[in-house]
Amino acid sequence: MIGVLVKIAWRNIVRNRRRSLMTASAVAAGALAMLLFLGYTTYIFLGMETGNVQHLGHLRVFRAGYFLYGAGNPSAYGIDGYREVMRSIGADPVLEPMIRVLTPTQSLMGIAANYRGDNAASRTFFGEGIIPSDRDRMLRWDQYHTGIYHPLDPPMADADESRGLIGTGLARILNLCAPLALPECPPAPAAAPPPGEHPGKVNADIAELAGRDVPQGGRAPGGAQIDLLAATVGGAPNVVSLNVIGAQPQGAKELDDAYVLMHLALAQQLVYGREEHKITAIVLQLKDSRYLSAARARLNALFRERHLDLEVRDFAELVPFYGQVIRLFSSIFLFIALVMGMIVLFAVVNTMTMNVMERINEIGTSRAMGVRRSRIRAQFLIEGTLIGLIGTAVGAALAIAIAALVNRSGITWIPPGNATAIPLHLDVLGRPLRALGICAGLVLVATAAALLPANRAARLSVVDALRHI
Amino acid sequence: MQLEAMPPVVRLTHVSRTYQAGALEVRALDDLTLEIPPGRFSVVIGASGSGKTTLLNLIGCIDAPSAGAVEVCQQKVAELDDDAVADFRARNIGFIFQTFSLIPVLSAYENVEYPLLLVGMPGPERRRRTLAMLEAVGLAAQAQRRPNELSGGQKQRVAIARALVKQPQLVLADEPTANLDSATGASIISLMRRVQADSHTTFIFATHDPQLMSHADEIFAIRDGALLEHRGSAS
């Protein structure tokens, strides 16, 4: 029986093809808009996740309290015996298969200064000490095949602890445009020193002090040397020299104007001097983001078992901006979905009401022949569903085609939090369940919209329907 | 069992049907009591507004009386709920309408097959019966045509085939020849008469057509919702 109902519904759609086409077009427009926006947000979400995981890893292990209080004094929250902790994590049978990169990192703050040459300048910096080869492996993480990979340029080497990279903003502030050959970064005009100061003598003192602790490796050809001043754990000032081999733009100006990336050993030397070297965090980059919850739970269990005063944070906690962007785009998506849903709802209600009005006599005939009310209702619901299916299928096909065109067009853009342009990519099928949910939702709306006219048709009195002309 | 010994196919007992037309109450049937014998070609006649169509609607179980009892095919209709009445109609009653009322998106074959789908008849038997019925009404060659590709006479033949294909106990026809020219009307009457003679199905017509009245076994004359006269073998 359902076969004949579908047959009648389909043939009525074809019979009223112009009206059906208009209604299906509204559904298709809804599907197209929502799927393209889904593709756009998917790419943003996955791109942001990729960027964050490449730079921060999935999880970071801190000394308890660091996340809330440690940013002001990273050196005070160093992890004791971190090598042993890392060995425990790396050897854990649950964690080991999940981990892609396990690496230590040291955060620090201080003053970066360029006292060489005529244009002396200094600036507070935010620094990160890393193991270069581990960072390079982290930057190659691309679970979602986004194509995002911005290596350290020029590369840092594990063997040369003196080399580092800084933000382009900091390079500009420290008058390193010319030595680093930065484009669109002209050297600043010379500024007069404040009266009564003898910058040349002070600069020479600090440079001499820094020179005592410079690790072996020498100054990079074509680079520049800056001095980094920070307070050690004990409170004493400490200075090291960093051979800046290049500058890389950072996503936010505040970071770009203050960022220093250096070898872990140099960062530890600056923060801990000759005391025991610790680290701020142990970074875990996982092979697959789906392992995140399990890995986090296992880490917490491991730390409880070993009575370690450590805490675990994921990248979303470390970068609240990530969650804010997701919430913003999710809200916009919800708004678009609501608008499109309303358009589809009214279009289908209108069409189905007209269909019922035109077929009142046919409904009376069917009822007289013995068709139950429920089957009359089903017939019109099927019609609404078919219109929804056709519109959604057309909309989905168009969305996939348009996404393919855009993806091949080579359009680039700078996503939130990024410093460099990347190709615009619409990942319509990147989250297949969501895409399927949109299509199913639209078909459901079309079906629900048909319910009102279908109920009206089912409730018609047979005698009145047969009398209708 | 002889037809004469069988119980009546329709029994109406003190049936009234009133309609509300604004503030006015219209009494379409007024305390009507009648019995229609089975296997007959019965005709209900009367002037426009006399209550013929209302009577057919009550017999066809598509309307309910305001008072009184309607019994069709030995079934008290008031005892059935809405779905049960629909199923009862699907099994026992065939309708032929003045305006043919075929489903426009179905072919002649599919229109005739539709009532058999409603009673859940298996495919092969359904196909055999449908083709036989189309053959019987002379439309085997037009089986795949849609109603808009058929003449008025052909449409009514499809409607007759649709009403009879399930072999109902009762066929109700409201002015079946009113929209046909006299020659086509005559051929339709002769077709129905032949089919009725073969199947002994009870036919009840509401009509003004003198041709149709001349073929009737039973004639029920209605005026102002009441039975004025009953002529026929059972009277």
DSSP codes, A420-450: S-EE----TTSSHHHHHHHHHHHHHHHHHHH
Q: What is the pLDDT of residues A299-344, one digit of tens each?
A: 999 999 999 999 999 999 998 888 998 999 999 999 999 999 999 9
Residue B153 · residue B180 · CB < 8 Å: yes
In chain B, the residue whose alpha carbon lies closest to the alpha carbon of A15 is B105
User: Contacts of residue A368 in chain B, CB cutoff 8 Å?
Assistant: 60, 62, 89, 95
Expressed in percent and rounded to 5, the helix, strand and coil fractions of chain A are 55, 15, 30
Backbone angles phi, psi at A12, to 5 degrees: -70, -35
Q: Do A370 and B86 touch (CB under 8 A)?
A: yes
pLDDT of residue A216: 47
pLDDT of residue A252: 81
Q: What is the pLDDT of residues A53-93, one digit of tens each?
A: 999 999 999 998 888 888 777 777 889 899 999 999 999 99
Give yes or no for a cis peptide into B37 (omega within 30° of 0): no
Q: What share of chain A in percent tops pLDDT 70?
A: 90
Q: Do B91 and A462 touch (CB under 8 A)?
A: no
CA B213 from chain centre, in angstroms, equals: 15
Report the C-alpha gap between A415 and A454 in whole angstroms: 47
The span from the first CA to the last CA of chain A, in angstroms, equals: 28
> Is B198 a residue whose pLDDT tops 90?
no
pLDDT of residue A192: 58
Q: Is A361 on the interface with B (CB under 8 A)?
A: yes
> Is A208 a residue whose pLDDT tops 90?
no
Indicate the domain borders of chain B.
Answer: 38-66+81-232
In chain B, the residue whose alpha carbon lies closest to the alpha carbon of A10 is B105
Tell me the nearest-neighbour CA distance from A326 into chain B, angstroms. Answer: 50
In chain A, the residue whose alpha carbon lies closest to the alpha carbon of B163 is A369
Structure tokens at A140: 């190659």
Q: Is A372 on the interface with B (CB under 8 A)?
A: yes
* Average pLDDT value for residue range A365-370: 94
Q: Do B95 and A370 touch (CB under 8 A)?
A: no
pLDDT of residue A103: 97
Backbone angles phi, psi at A94, to 5 degrees: -80, -45
Residue A264 · residue A162 · CB < 8 Å: no
Q: Do A365 and B101 touch (CB under 8 A)?
A: yes
Report the C-alpha gap between A264 and A257 in whole angstroms: 21
pLDDT of residue A206: 54
Residue A112 · residue A174 · CB < 8 Å: yes
User: Contacts of residue B83 in chain A, CB cutoff 8 Å?
Assistant: 372-374
Residue A57 · residue A284 · CB < 8 Å: yes
> How do strand A412-413 and strand B170-174 relate by DSSP bridges?
unpaired
Indicate the residue of B101, B110, B118 with minimum beta-carbon distance to A371: B118
Indicate the residue of A11, A368, A372 with minimum beta-carbon distance to B62: A368
Residue A262 · residue A132 · CB < 8 Å: no
At residue A225, the 3 state secondary structure works out as: strand
Q: What is the pLDDT of residues A39-54, one digit of tens each?
A: 998 888 888 899 899 9
pLDDT of residue A118: 67
> Is A215 a residue whose pLDDT tops 70?
no
Residue B191 · residue B157 · CB < 8 Å: yes
> Is A150 a residue whose pLDDT tops 90?
no
Q: Do B87 and A368 touch (CB under 8 A)?
A: no
Tell me the nearest-neighbour CA distance from A365 into chain B, angstroms. Answer: 6
Q: Do B106 and A11 touch (CB under 8 A)?
A: yes
Q: Do A466 and B97 touch (CB under 8 A)?
A: yes
In chain B, the residue whose alpha carbon lies closest to the alpha carbon of A368 is B62
At residue A386, the 3 state secondary structure works out as: helix
User: Contacts of residue B60 in chain A, CB cutoff 8 Å?
Assistant: 368
Tell me the nearest-neighbour CA distance from B4 into chain A, angstroms. Answer: 28
User: Contacts of residue A15 in chain B, CB cutoff 8 Å?
Assistant: 104-105
> Where is mean pLDDT largest: A173-177, A370-374, B179-183?
A370-374
> Is A134 a residue whose pLDDT tops 50?
yes
Q: Is A11 on the interface with B (CB under 8 A)?
A: yes
Report how far apart, in Å, the C-alpha atoms of B161 and of each of A88, B115, B129, B167 are.
Answer: 86, 10, 10, 10
Report how far apart, in Å, the C-alpha atoms of B75 and of each of A44, B11, B69 are.
Answer: 69, 10, 11
Confidence of residue A217 (pLDDT cuts 50, 70, 90): very low
Residue A105 · residue A220 · CB < 8 Å: no
Confidence of residue B235 (pLDDT cuts 50, 70, 90): very low
pLDDT of residue A200: 52
Q: Do A370 and B89 touch (CB under 8 A)?
A: yes
Structure tokens at B11: 């029994």
Residue B109 · residue A14 · CB < 8 Å: no
At residue B56, the 3 state secondary structure works out as: helix
Indicate the residue of A15, A369, A372 with minimum beta-carbon distance to B105: A15
Greatest pairwise CA separation for chain A in angstroms = 109
Q: What share of chain B in percent tops pLDDT 70?
A: 97
Q: Do A7 and B62 touch (CB under 8 A)?
A: no
Tell me the nearest-neighbour CA distance from A28 into chain B, angstroms. Answer: 26
**Residue A297, Cβ neighbours under 10 Å: how many?**
12
CA B5 from chain centre, in angstroms, equals: 23
* Average pLDDT value for residue range A194-212: 55
How does DSSP classify residue A352? Answer: H
Q: Sheet of B67-72: strands edge to edge?
A: B24-36, B10-21, B67-72, B75-76
Q: What is the pLDDT of residues B132-187, one digit of tens each?
A: 989 988 889 999 999 999 998 899 889 989 998 998 999 999 888 877 788 888 88
> Is A450 a residue whose pLDDT tops 80?
yes
Residue A213 · residue A268 · CB < 8 Å: no
Side chain identity at residue A187, one-letter code: P
User: Contacts of residue B110 in chain A, CB cutoff 8 Å?
Assistant: 4, 7
Polymer length of chain A: 469
| Long-range CB pairs of B48-51, under 8 A, 24+ apart, other chains included | B50/B222, B50/B223, B50/B224, B50/B225, B51/B17, B51/B222, B51/B224, B51/B225, B51/B226
Residue B159 · residue B97 · CB < 8 Å: yes
Report the C-alpha gap between A64 and B45 in whole angstroms: 99
Residue B8 · residue B202 · CB < 8 Å: no
CATH of domain B38-66+81-232: 3.40.50.300
Q: What is the mean pLDDT of chain B?
A: 89
Q: Do A462 and B88 touch (CB under 8 A)?
A: no
> Is B228 a residue whose pLDDT tops 80?
yes
**Residue B47, Cβ neighbours under 10 Å: how many?**
12
Q: Strand locations in A305-418, DSSP E?
A: 310-314, 412-413
Indicate the residue of B60, B91, B102 with minimum beta-carbon distance to A368: B60
Q: Strand locations in A324-435, DSSP E?
A: 412-413, 422-423
Report the C-alpha gap between B69 and B59 in whole angstroms: 11
* Average pLDDT value for residue range A425-446: 91
Tell me the nearest-neighbour CA distance from B121 into chain A, angstroms. Answer: 10
pLDDT of residue B87: 95
